[in-house]
Structure 1
């Protein structure tokens, strides 16, 4: 029997950004990607599907995607009494964003969360696993310098954070954002994974890389000769 990756998108906070719960259907081990807040929603989905959360995965350091991280770690320790839940990702170049969570909270209208330190930073070409599932890592700077994406080759599913959206791309007007880097990352790191790859963005509906190559006003192939 081959393990199958399952997922559920959980919209969180007043931004309604996409937090995603991933799990291995064989072992019931799970990882949560970008727990921006509303921890009780994440915990209820874990209970609903009888899952064991084994790690937190982060695509980048913006508050709306990491704001619930420390609270989730604390909640899991309180309920299970186990060792601290590991926090893995993003790339080390986003640590400056994590270090200024209070300033981000003030800017975005969030309650200031407890700070945290990732246990693992990812590099281009790394892999991360839970249960019998393995995800590939791609470093895709531009929205933030340390942004990464997660790719599951077997089901052709990518979790791209704020790199790419249906019909749009991530903002690059934040500190250390870079429009040219972002477009280059999309075209050189995402497109080669295949037109049939479905992706879960940090905000909004899912799409496919093929759809965006055809119709996305920022990165469609027709814009590049």
Structure 2
């Protein structure tokens, strides 16, 4: 049994939405359904995945814009995450959608907020929830220990880090989240960022100008 995933760039921001599933049970989740709901629906059907819940890493529009329509389309499934510190972003979605010229997205609250140390399960798979503030105060990362795979939203990118100039963003907090919460998971952990190509924590520790360190070479 193993964890499978497919990344689908959605919206004009090319946000990486991830369909993640357990290949033994074909039960899964969708992480950050930012938009392009019809495309996501068709792909989920094509893959044969039974989506049990939608999981949000943070409250920015390009990551959550398609959440409610997709939840309805898949049979009113539950929405979980992010951490409740991002509620102000979800409550401001109408303003965000007008500002960025997106289809009107109404405010909503998830069925469940996520806290550091929580788990999201589907089939035989588990994603560990890690609270990683900095880009937004309520940002969470989802980590599969078994697959050595993390879905990191807008915390870390291949060669860059998340912006911290939005309300309640903080550069030092973000750096601390990356170095103290992500690096200990292991250099061999592969990650799917909110935008752009995948990478590994080890590669970013060696090459990312924002968070590189003096990692010993083994």
After TM superposition, the score normalised by the length of structure 1 is: 0.93
Shift of 1:162: 0.1
- Offset of residue 222 of structure 1: 4.0
What value does the CA root-mean-square deviation take over the aligned residues? 1.1
Please name the residue that 1:53 is paired with. Answer: 51
C-alpha distance in 1, partners of 2:147/2:72?
32
Matched-pair contact (CA < 8 Å) for 1:145–1:176: yes
Aligned counterparts, 1:143-222, within 5 A? 143-222=135-214
Query: Residues 87 and 118 of structure 1 are in contact (CA less than 8 Å); yes or no, is this contact kept in structure 2?
Result: yes
Query: What's the CA shift string for 1:21-64, capped at 9, x where partnerless?
Result: 00011111110000000011111111111111110000000000
* Residue of structure 2 equivalent to 1:80: none
CA distance in 2, matches of 1:117, 1:93: 12
Segments of structure 2 that go 5 or more residues without pairing to the other structure are: none
Flag structure 1 segments of 5+ consecutive residues without an equivalent.
Answer: 78-83
> Where do 4+ consecutive residues of structure 1 move more than 4 Å?
none
Post-superposition CA distance 1:53-79 (Å, at most 9, x none)? 1100000000000000011112123xx
Residues 93-121 of structure 1: per-residue CA shift (max 9 Å, x gap): 00000000011112222111133210111
**1:131 corresponding residue in structure 2:** 123
171-180 vs 98-107, greater mean Cα deviation: 98-107
Q: Which moved more, 1:120-129 or 1:53-62?
A: 120-129
Contact 1:69 1:116 in 2 (8 A): no
**Aligned pairs, number:** 215
Q: Aligned partners of 1:134 and 1:163: how far apart in 2?
A: 21
Q: Does the Cα contact within 8 Å between 1:29 and 1:51 map onto a contact in 2? A: yes
